[in-house]
Amino acid sequence: MSEIVASYRHSPFSAEPEQLNSQEIWAVGRDVRAQLVSDSLTRALDFSGIEEQVAQVNVNGVSFGVAWDLEHEVLNPARKPVMGVTEYDESVPDCVMVAINGPKLSSLDYLLRSTIAHELGHVIFDAPRWIRLGPAPAPAFFGGEQTHAAKYDPREVRANEFMGGLLVPPALVRVDFMRAARRHRLQPSRYPSAMIRGAAAYDNDLQDADAVQEAVFSLAELYGVSQSFMRVRLERYDLLRSRAPL
């Protein structure tokens, strides 16, 4: 069993991430993805063996185990079901625990895949600090519709951007979206993507709505994510814009 290895700018004392920008987070997702897939043609990640795939990680030189539970219901402190949580128990100092609400998500492939990717983001970015310094703050339960506070929590922002970069990497979807755009006769903008150097961008409000929908649907099916997830990624990478630049 090999370790999943990741690195990023961090505090040498606490192992906490520094203020990483989106591109840096996506790059970590890209590097982790390369260790999870066997070839560059893979688009939809298969997490059916995640317990063995990610049982040991090494992040910035901090090595620890990851114990996964995908069989039991996950409840928040209010006893309401949520999709997942990543926790640390100092009685098991060299391991973090990830619980995914299998009973709730087993038949919802898109949500299961995105929840595992989100919690893996917490493993990569938050767990090293717990391992090095001890007990974590109150765990952040991933419930789908996030509260206002969680939406702007740096931990959740990182986990979400990692999830996006892992499941729909910018370098891959750039090529696939360009092909889909040509197939559906979308017209590129005069202004290229501001997030991916050299990539064409498309202004949603200047395209045929049905053609855009078909392109997004085909990409969502290819990557094994929902259409809304795919739209968010295309917008985050400035490949599909809500409105044309002035």
Closest C-alpha among 104, 66, 87 to residue 140: 87
Say if residue 2's pLDDT is above 90.
no
Say if residue 149's pLDDT is above 60.
no
pLDDT band per the 50, 70, 90 thresholds, residue 38: confident
DSSP percent split of the chain into helix, strand, coil, nearest 5: 45, 15, 40
Q: What is the pLDDT of residues 94-148, one digit of tens each?
A: 999 999 999 999 999 999 999 999 999 999 999 999 999 987 777 778 875 555 4
Give the three-state DSSP class for 209: helix
What is the structure's pLDDT at 154?
92
Say if residue 238's pLDDT is above 70.
yes
What is the structure's pLDDT at 137?
72
Q: Name residue, tokens 């009973």.
A: 103
Q: What is the pLDDT of residues 151-191, one digit of tens each?
A: 678 999 999 999 999 999 999 999 999 999 999 999 999 99
Q: What is the Cα–Cα distance from 171 to 183, expressed in whole angstroms?
A: 19
Q: What is the pLDDT of residues 202-236, one digit of tens each?
A: 999 999 999 999 999 999 999 999 999 999 999 99
Q: How many CB atoms lie within 10 A of CB 194?
A: 12
Residue 93: what are its φ and ψ, rounded to 5°?
Answer: -70, -20
Share of the chain above pLDDT 70, in %: 95
- Average pLDDT score, the chain: 93
The answer to whether the CB of 28 falls within 8 A of the CB of 36 is no
pTM for the whole structure: 0.94
Q: How many CB atoms lie within 10 A of CB 176?
A: 16
